[in-house]
Structure 1
């Protein structure tokens, strides 16, 4: 299978993310349930499985802020546990069966990290709570870079792969997968790309601005501020249309529609949770998703609203794992 099949398997799956809608129940019992005041969670520790400045870190801190502003939690803190596509954090959380007041931010990168690293623990060891959002990938260069388009960047890579280093997330991450898609499209062997993995967006940003690499790939939110400030040049965003407020030379549709792509991130808890506590956590996230605070945070970070909670998210997660396992296996990156 060629790497371009990622589009039909992974990219389409994440681009088409959508929660099942439900009709409004106007019965008296439904109204009584809706009127019942939610009792705020006492405390919460949210694990961001990557370094500060990363997409996971932003998702964790955005959740922390939105829960607090909506009075859904009395005290919440974020702890960063970076390493190995999130699997270092996963290995710490998975054994804590039934532990209360503990959430972990997860997503496509952790799923692919489990598969590519062959870890003993998997997402099956966690309790799925909700898929929070989707995010477009972007390709950037330093502001003074000679490359004006993604075509020029990959022409240089094709000519001399080692001369062009690209900073991104961990091996097998969404960033890595998207670089593979682009490489295949432009006739470059994915394995030939000089891909330099970092544990967080902050480290990748430093490498790009410091001239240690010639380009970078990450989620839109991680580089948006630097692009707006003129410190980085946005070559490509993996969306079908231009994104508001952040300039890019091209969208994916400008290059090839098959290059449209979204990463996704979610919130999970340790396995073995009490059913009542699991229900309460999911209700808190549903209420957070409907709050103005969350909507403002999502808009600020250019996140796409792909919210999906509870059993629907758990079902989708298994389907997504099957797709991603197949893709990484065909790419020779699967150890599971």
Structure 2
């Protein structure tokens, strides 16, 4: 590197050490500029989110008791938004597949700081419970995750395989009790579809419904039911420690998260079913408020915290917003109603 003296124009060589210092200073200056720019952009985004929230703390309703998939999802959203909007609150309103919490949530019309986790279970529960409110009464912001279900028995059960459980259901479906989540939810739908696939009457399934995943787990672990159905993330710890024995998963094939556990189809039962969970806001938001909330969820979806939670829990990244989400919800409602009618859960 050379510099030009003033005013003679003679050039002098800069020592190598000085060149390195100059280069390092330039690099630091560039990094500092980029960092400041990034912080400014981050600050602008955070300010936009806070403006949409009206300066109030974000509240997230889990419309189920603690311990289940909606509760886990609500707290995963809370953790993933901590660096984006700061502190938030999760509260539980359990019962009836979310149809106790849903009417309460609807009353928050126009309040952008109120969110609710929802999903496939609520779609079915709205129909089976003849709910006074439906998903038409909320503003669906995003579909977040998908998850397959596990059919399992307590470790002390004499049932060793899914084939054995299917045979028992075919012989006397009413004598085989199956514990799961709320009535009309995906767990009961799966129980009905399994019964139908083995030639039993799905309307005669002895299904033991619970308000939350934690309660269902208590029934399963105690051996009070023949078998249980729940999401992978809820049962995986108990399968891993040997408390529960997984018989099959509702995926098309064996999953990496449950090695050695066959799918229902691999067990000779032609059934596949996937749960999904999403997040909604109340109706009545301003366009800019809604756009800010979706942008907030976009940022959450791309965060390292959220990606790590998906990996840890075995949840599928099913992020969907906008018109595609609206089309998905419409199709899901129609399909769920058809399935519930086919297995006799609704008239």
String of CA shifts for 1:263-292, please: whole Å, max 9, x gaps.
100000111111111111111111111111
Residue 164 of structure 1, CA deviation? 2.4
Asked whether the 8 Å contact 2:97–2:183 carries over to 1, the reply is yes
- Equivalent pair of 2:202/2:344 in contact (CA under 8 Å): no
Q: What displacement does 1:92 show? A: 0.4
Choose the corresponding residue for 1:315, options 302, 318, 327: 327
Q: Does 1:241 align with 2:253?
A: yes
Q: 1:65 aligns with which of 76, 79, 82?
A: 79
Matched residues in 2 for 1:206 and 1:116: separation? Answer: 24
Change (3 A) 1:246 1:334: same
Higher relative contact order (CA 8 A, sep 6+): 1
Q: Gaps spanning 5+ residues in structure 1: where?
A: 1-31
Structure 2: 5+ residue stretches without partners? 1-36
| Contact 1:47 1:78 survives alignment (8 Å) | yes
Secondary structure in structure 2 of the residue aligned to 1:306: strand
Contact 2:193 2:343 in 1 (8 A): no
SS at 1:96 equivalent: coil
Question: What is the TM-score normalised by the length of structure 2?
Answer: 0.82
Q: Residues of 2 paired with 1:186 and 1:109: CA distance?
A: 24
In 1, distance between residues paired with 2:166 and 2:111? 47
CA contact (8 A) 1:228 1:246 kept: no
Q: Distance in 2 between matches of 1:146 and 1:308?
A: 42
Please provide the CA RMSD for this pair. Answer: 2.1
Picking from 71, 82, 89, the partner of 1:77 is: 89
Is 1:302 aligned to residue 302 of structure 2?
A: no
1:52 to 45, 63, 66: 66
What is the aligned partner in structure 1 of residue 177 from structure 2? 165
SS in structure 2 at match of 1:57: helix
Counterparts of 2:78 and 2:58, CA distance in 1? 9
CA distance in 2, matches of 1:202, 1:237: 20
Distance 1:112 1:290 in 2: 30
Q: What is residue 219 of structure 2 aligned with on the other side?
A: 207
Aligned residue for 1:297, secondary structure, equals helix
Q: C-alpha distance in 2, partners of 1:237/1:63?
A: 26
Match of 1:145 in 2: 157
Count how many residue pairs are aligned between Structure 1 and Structure 2: 302
- Larger gyration radius, structure 1 or structure 2: 2
User: 1:150-229, aligned counterparts within 5 Å?
Assistant: 150-229=162-241
Q: Is the 8 A contact 1:167 1:196 kept in 2?
A: yes
Partner of 2:6: none
SS at match of 1:282: helix
Q: Which residue of 1 aligns with 2:140?
A: 128
Farther off after superposition, 191-200 or 130-139: 191-200
- Give distance in 2, aligned partners of 1:274 and 1:314: 18
Instruction: Normalising by structure 1, report the TM-score.
Output: 0.85
